[in-house]
Amino acid sequence: MFPAADLLDDLVKIFLRYFNQHFHILHGPTFVRQVAAGLHHTTPAFGSVVLAVCALASRYSDDPRVGEGHHKGWNYYTQIKAIHLGQYLDPANLLWDLQLFPLMGLYAYSLTLPDQCFLLTAMGIRLAQARSIHRLKPSDDKPWTANDELLKRTWWLLVVLDTYVSSFGGHRRVTDYEEFDAEYPLEVDDEFWPGEPLADPERPWHQPKRTNCRVSGWVYHLKLLSIYSFAQTTIYTIRRSPYWDCIGCPDWDRNIVVELDSALNAWLDSLPDFLRWDPHSPTADAAMLQSTLHFIQIQIHRPFLREFASNAICVTAARSCSHVLAAYSKGWPFLTMPMAFGWALYSSIILLLNVKDGKLASPRDLEDVAENMEMLSRHEGVWQVAGRYQYV
Is 202 part of any domain? no
Structural domains of the chain, count: 1
pLDDT of the residue at 92: 85
Is 182 part of any domain? no
Is 245 part of any domain? yes
Is 130 part of any domain? no
pLDDT at 90 over 80: no
Is 137 part of any domain? no
Q: Residues 26-85: pLDDT tens digits?
A: 999 999 999 999 999 999 999 999 999 999 999 989 999 999 888 899 999 999 987 665
Q: Residues 246-282: pLDDT tens digits?
A: 655 666 667 889 999 999 999 999 999 999 999 888 8
Long-range contacts of the stretch 325-334 (C-beta < 8 A, 24+): 325/287, 325/291, 325/371, 325/372, 325/375, 326/368, 326/371, 326/372, 326/375, 327/279, 327/282, 327/287, 328/282, 328/284, 328/287, 328/291, 329/375, 329/378, 331/282, 332/284, 334/18, 334/60
Is 340 part of any domain? yes
pLDDT of the residue at 155: 97
Is 268 part of any domain? yes
Prediction pTM value = 0.94
Is 115 part of any domain? no
Contacts of 303 (CB under 8 A, 6+ apart): 235, 236, 253
pLDDT of the residue at 128: 92
Q: Is 213 helix (H, G, I), strand (E, B) or coil?
A: coil
- What is the domain extent for residue 339? 223-390
